[in-house]
């Protein structure tokens, strides 16, 4: 049995002489005695049983939207009936390409309730990978979101957009559909890295997942008070228990925002704010999370699992040092092919292990550690780990040979047809029956929990026309910092730049499979028997691999200090101030580490998004210099600071914009611009022009150069308009100027008495007596605010908001009378409410100011209700479409 270069050095954790060699196969049989009655249920039936038990309890929460069990069930039923009409039933594979959202949960349940099996497609995957999965599964139906449709590769499936076109003809059918699906039918097909250059689809039936969920519930008992945080992408199987354990046993499923799993500051905040009790992490994320401010306050946690890669004991000690929680932290082990987790070990303090054991098998699972002749090895000796039991996958989709190779006859079982899965993991039994993970016997690696076949990266690189030979390995110079390095030789006469190779791979592989470094060699080192000698591959030279001409040295102290931090974090020298952090191998974990050091060195608190927007030393230095002169970012308030797309800056508001964020592209950062003092009172400027100029200074601290995406509601739109004018005059490009029901100052005139009456009557008929109450409250609040503004003796702290609103409206009136808007040469997107309260010009006055064209969308609702369901959906959609159009 060959141990590869990735095999960790920790296999001598416990000296073998402390183990009892006489422990024989009989004892091992006892350790494998895990059988209990199998529940024989489908997952959607388990969910339906829970809906019966707690229809009104909260089932799922995403940001500030939540659904009860009954509401979620009804929505999923509607979808399921619709999917039935499209031919979905047992063994039918349905693609689902959605970001983490309520729709994603409705979509998965809808597919299962229709009887089908889901195939998760991460929207962040490159189109070529999505195309492969769609064609391999021959999915006839694909659930997605409108904004993702345009990024999908060509495919044969019928598209159902969960945010628009599926409710149609089955709107009223909210009953549980009856289907013929049994526990042996497929529940999902999840793709995992494949060594031949293409991923492979693992087919999992309901039975294994049902077993997994009952094992969890029996051992760790979830209650209605529990909140489970879904952090992982649904294209990896731990997401399955994170979704269905709460949904099948009455807990709450809380969805972390897309991308949130990599932002440990966000995770800590969510865990504390939402009082999360159940959490799952990979060790590399746990390492960073434990360093996060406020981690000690995550006291509600009562079940934490780590898995996906080896868990070093020093991390367990770190956990206990920060979170003094006994018996809640578990190391779970299991490959996708065995329905999530197969073994587990409850972490303990002060053990002799260097790496946590992976423990013992869960219910209805068997573990065998065998030699090359499939004979059990004695306790204490290493062998390959094989898994048996009801969790085993049916096999790999469309890969019968591979299925036969990996799923073999089980010689230890008396059950007809029983199989074993050959994991490729090297392990040994400890004398107490726990299993110790020792590494891999092949070239599969784990980086930040992602399973990667090095052969898959090699096969894809070999497709590049310049590449002759290639070998990819994983290196771990500093503990916990695992990186992929690709070594290549080129065909004669070919010169490929590292940059080109990187772009080539980005088209084909997910981001987590990208090598951090590419080393071009004259020849690969060989062993005497003609194989590539992986052990002799040189360390990447730690020097940047771009051409010398592109190197730009630091020009001042700020850049120099940044360069030193970058070199330390990336382990590369020297770094040009124009090099992109992510192209040099920077990943999400390294970016957290880098930013922590930058913040410490410069004593500045900045959102991580700044690095994503400004990934070079040169850009980051500009931001830092600006912060020196304007230490307060008080006007610029992050609503959603993370995301890889350009940020959207929205003027004069916060909560309305906050409600818009869940409907926008999850990769789009959103910032509000507000000018209030410490008491919440509006800050006075010398007119709109000065206010806009202040806002421009602030957004430039985050994004020094255009194209800019600006917007604003009501008067905020007028400020955004003025900002666009000033930025254009500075030669900056404005990609979007979106006005949400904004009027050109001076065009808003009171309606005649008769029009006002008819407007009020219409609203009354729509809303009933609640409308009158709303009017009264509005009037009274206005009156109180105006009075309290003049006479501070009647002010009360509780009503301070009304005073600040009154002051704000007064200021707006003052600004508006002074402002003389000029024609703007760019294009304006106007999102106009259909219900108007004022007499105004047809397009709210913008036609004559929009020199570059006016794009109008009428949104059902009034000035404020356009930010509520269902109008907000439409508005967000129109906004995204406008942004996309400008980007083409």
Using CB under 6 A as the binding rule, the residues of this chain from 422 to 441 that contact ligand AMP are 423, 425, 437, 440
The answer to the question of residue 382 lying near ligand AMP (CB under 6 A) is no
The nearest distance, CB 99 to ligand AMP, in angstroms, is 21
Per-residue binding letters, 512-541, with ligand AMP (x by CB under 6 A)? ------------------------------
Using CB under 6 A as the binding rule, the residues of this chain from 450 to 479 that contact ligand AMP are 451
Nearest to 13 by CA among 306, 311, 440, 285: 311
The answer to the question of residue 8 lying near ligand AMP (CB under 6 A) is no
CA distance 124 to 107: 18
The nearest distance, CB 51 to ligand AMP, in angstroms, is 30
Say how many C-beta atoms besides its own lie within 10 A of residue 14's C-beta. Answer: 18
Q: DSSP assignment of 79-102, as one string?
A: HHHHHHHTT--TT-EEEEE--SSH
Report the DSSP pairing between strands 141-144 and 93-97. Answer: parallel
Burial class (CB in 10 A: 0-12, 13-18, 19+), 686: exposed
The answer to the question of residue 510 lying near ligand AMP (CB under 6 A) is no
Q: How many residues does the chain have?
A: 888
CA distance 300 to 247: 20
Among 310, 379, 459, 596, the residue binding ligand AMP under the rule CB under 6 A is 310
Q: Which is nearer to ligand AMP, 136 or 453 (CB)?
A: 453
The nearest distance, CB 565 to ligand AMP, in angstroms, is 32
- Tell me how many degrees the CA angle 823-828-833 measures, rounded to the nearest 5: 120
Q: Which is nearer to ligand AMP, 308 or 586 (CB)?
A: 308
3-state class of 878 per DSSP?
helix
Q: Which is nearer to ligand AMP, 331 or 732 (CB)?
A: 331
162, 75, 110, 38: CA torsion to nearest 10: 150
The nearest distance, CB 715 to ligand AMP, in angstroms, is 52
Residue 357 tokens, joined: 């054991």
The nearest distance, CB 279 to ligand AMP, in angstroms, is 16
The nearest distance, CB 358 to ligand AMP, in angstroms, is 5
Q: Indicate if the alpha-carbon torsion angle 585, 589, 591, 593 is positive or negative.
A: negative
Q: Which is nearer to ligand AMP, 231 or 331 (CB)?
A: 331
The answer to the question of residue 420 lying near ligand AMP (CB under 6 A) is no
The answer to the question of residue 448 lying near ligand AMP (CB under 6 A) is no
The nearest distance, CB 446 to ligand AMP, in angstroms, is 5
Q: Are 269 and 246 in contact (CB under 8 A)?
A: no
Among 123, 201, 307, 540, the residue binding ligand AMP under the rule CB under 6 A is 307
The nearest distance, CB 49 to ligand AMP, in angstroms, is 28
The answer to the question of residue 188 lying near ligand AMP (CB under 6 A) is no
The answer to the question of residue 233 lying near ligand AMP (CB under 6 A) is no
The answer to the question of residue 886 lying near ligand AMP (CB under 6 A) is no
The answer to the question of residue 73 lying near ligand AMP (CB under 6 A) is no
Among 309, 436, 458, 722, the residue binding ligand AMP under the rule CB under 6 A is 309
The nearest distance, CB 480 to ligand AMP, in angstroms, is 14
Using CB under 6 A as the binding rule, the residues of this chain from 322 to 361 that contact ligand AMP are 331-333, 335-336, 358
CA distance 708 to 394: 51
The answer to the question of residue 234 lying near ligand AMP (CB under 6 A) is no
- Please work out the total of residues on this chain that contact ligand AMP, with binding judged by CB under 6 A: 18
Q: Are 555 and 544 in contact (CB under 8 A)?
A: no
Burial class (CB in 10 A: 0-12, 13-18, 19+), 751: middle
Residue 626: CB partners within 8 Å, gap ≥ 6? 697, 700, 701, 704
The nearest distance, CB 519 to ligand AMP, in angstroms, is 26
Q: Which is nearer to ligand AMP, 188 or 743 (CB)?
A: 188
Give 635's DSSP letter.
T
The answer to the question of residue 421 lying near ligand AMP (CB under 6 A) is no
Which residues are paired to 421 by β-bridges? 387, 407
Nearest to 489 by CA among 455, 453, 532: 532
Q: Are 105 and 44 in contact (CB under 8 A)?
A: no
Which residues are paired to 93 by β-bridges? 117
Q: Which contacts qualify for 563-568: CB closer than 8 Å, 24 or more apart? A: 563/617, 565/594, 565/597, 565/598, 565/601, 566/594, 566/617, 568/597
Q: Is the peptide bond before 49 cis (omega within 30 degrees of 0)?
A: no
Q: Which is nearer to ligand AMP, 95 or 357 (CB)?
A: 357
The nearest distance, CB 298 to ligand AMP, in angstroms, is 22
Which residues are paired to 376 by β-bridges? 370
The answer to the question of residue 445 lying near ligand AMP (CB under 6 A) is no
Using CB under 6 A as the binding rule, the residues of this chain from 610 to 639 that contact ligand AMP are none
The answer to the question of residue 742 lying near ligand AMP (CB under 6 A) is no
Residue whose tokens read 């004695």: 378
Q: Which is nearer to ligand AMP, 120 or 643 (CB)?
A: 120
Q: Which is nearer to ligand AMP, 451 or 868 (CB)?
A: 451
The answer to the question of residue 192 lying near ligand AMP (CB under 6 A) is yes
The contact set with ligand AMP (CB under 6 A) reads 192, 307-311, 331-333, 335-336, 358, 423, 425, 437, 440, 446, 451
């Amino acid at each position: 049995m060959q141990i590869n270069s990735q095999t960790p050095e920790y296999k001598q954790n416990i000296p073998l002489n402390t183990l009892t060699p006489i422990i024989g196969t009989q004892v091992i049989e006892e350790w494998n005695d895990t059988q209990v009655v199998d529940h024989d249920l489908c997952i959607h039936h388990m969910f339906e049983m829970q809906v019966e038990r707690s229809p009104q309890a909260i089932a799922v929460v995403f940001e500030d939207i939540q659904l009860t069990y009954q509401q979620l069930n009804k929505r999923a039923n509607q979808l399921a009936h619709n999917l039935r009409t499209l031919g979905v039933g047992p063994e039918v594979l349905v693609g689902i390409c959605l970001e983490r959202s309520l729709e994603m949960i409705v979509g998965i349940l809808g597919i299962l309730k229709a009887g089908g099996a889901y195939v998760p497609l991460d929207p962040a995957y490159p189109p070529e990978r999505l195309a492969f999965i769609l064609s391999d599964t021959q999915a006839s139906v694909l659930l997605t979101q409108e904004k993702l449709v345009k990024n999908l590769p060509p495919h044969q499936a019928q598209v159902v957009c969960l945010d628009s076109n599926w409710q149609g003809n089955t709107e009223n059918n909210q009953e549980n559909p009856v289907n013929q699906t049994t526990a042996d039918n497929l529940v999902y097909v999840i793709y995992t890295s494949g060594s031949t250059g293409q991923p492979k689809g693992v087919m999992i039936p309901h039975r294994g997942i049902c077993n997994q969920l009952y094992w969890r519930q029996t051992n760790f008992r979830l209650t209605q008070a529990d909140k489970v945080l879904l952090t992982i992408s649904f294209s990896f199987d731990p997401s399955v228990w994170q979704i269905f354990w709460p949904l099948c046993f009455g807990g709450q499923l809380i969805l972390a925002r897309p991308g949130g799993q990599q932002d440990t500051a966000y995770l800590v905040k969510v865990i504390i704010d939402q009082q999360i009790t159940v959490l799952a992490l990979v060790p590399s994320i746990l390492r960073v999370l434990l360093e996060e401010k406020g981690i000690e306050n995550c006291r509600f946690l009562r079940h934490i699992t780590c898995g996906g890669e080896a868990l070093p004991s020093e991390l367990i000690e770190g956990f206990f040092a920060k979170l003094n929680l006994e018996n809640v932290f578990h190391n779970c082990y299991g490959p996708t092919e065995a329905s999530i987790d197969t073994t587990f070990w409850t972490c303990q303090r002060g053990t002799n292990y260097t790496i946590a054991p992976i423990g013992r098998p869960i219910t209805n699972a068997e573990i065998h550690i065998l030699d090359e002749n499939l004979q059990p090895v004695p306790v204490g000796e290493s062998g390959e780990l094989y898994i048996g039991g009801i969790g085993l996958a049916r096999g790999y989709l469309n890969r019968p040979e591979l299925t036969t190779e990996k799923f073999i006859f089980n010689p230890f079982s008396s059950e007809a047809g029983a199989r074993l899965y050959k994991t490729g993991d090297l392990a040994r039994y400890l004398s107490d029956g726990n299993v110790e993970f020792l590494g891999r016997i092949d070239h599969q690696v784990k980086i930040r929990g992602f399973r990667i076949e090095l052969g898959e990266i090699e096969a894809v690189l070999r497709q590049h026309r310049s590449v002759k030979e290639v070998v990819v390995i994983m290196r771990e110079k500093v503990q916990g910092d695992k990186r992929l390095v690709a070594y290549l030789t080129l065909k004669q006469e070919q010169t490929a730049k590292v940059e080109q190779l990187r772009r080539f791979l980005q088209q084909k592989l997910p981001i987590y499979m990208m090598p951090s470094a590419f080393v071009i060699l004259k020849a690969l080192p060989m062993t005497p028997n003609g194989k590539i000698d992986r052990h002799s591959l040189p360390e990447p030279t730690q020097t940047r691999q771009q051409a010398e001409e592109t190197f730009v040295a630091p020009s001042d102290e700020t850049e120099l200090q940044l360069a030193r931090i970058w070199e330390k974090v990336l382990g590369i020298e020297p770094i040009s101030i124009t090099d992109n952090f992510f192209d040099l191998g920077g990943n999400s974990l390294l970016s957290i580490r880098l930013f922590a050091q930058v913040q410490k060195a410069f004593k500045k608190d900045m959102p991580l998004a700044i690095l994503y927007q400004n990934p070079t030393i040169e850009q980051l230095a500009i931001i830092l210099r600006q912060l020196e002169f304007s230490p307060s970012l008080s006007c610029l308030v992050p609503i959603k600071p993370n995301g890889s797309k350009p940020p959207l800056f929205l003027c004069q508001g916060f909560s309305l914009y906050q409600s818009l964020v869940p409907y926008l592209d999850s990769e789009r950062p959103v910032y509000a611009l507000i000018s209030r003092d410490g008491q919440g009172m509006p800050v006075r400027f010398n007119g709109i022009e000065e206010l806009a100029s202040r806002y421009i200074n602030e957004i430039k601290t985050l994004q020094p150069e255009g194209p800019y995406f600006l917007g604003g509601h009501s008067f905020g739109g007028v400020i955004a308009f003025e900002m666009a004018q000033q930025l254009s005059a500075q030669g900056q490009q404005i990609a979007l100027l979106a006005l949400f029901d904004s009027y050109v100052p001076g065009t808003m005139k009171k309606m005649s008495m008769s029009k006002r009456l008819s407007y009020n009557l219409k609203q009354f008929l729509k809303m009933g007596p609640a409308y009158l109450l709303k009017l009264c409250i509005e009037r009274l609040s206005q009156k109180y605010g105006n009075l309290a503004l003049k006479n501070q003796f009647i002010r009360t702290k509780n009503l301070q908001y009304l005073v600040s609103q009154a002051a704000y409206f007064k200021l707006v009136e003052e600004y508006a009378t002074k402002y003389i808007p000029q024609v703007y040469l760019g294009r304006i997107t106007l999102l106009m409410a259909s219900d108007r309260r004022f007499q105004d010009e047809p397009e709210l006055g913008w036609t004559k100011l929009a020199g570059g064209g006016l794009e109008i969308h009428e949104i059902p609702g009034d000035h404020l209700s356009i930010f509520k369901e269902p109008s907000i959906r439409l508005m967000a959609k129109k906004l995204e479409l406008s942004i996309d159009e400008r980007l083409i």
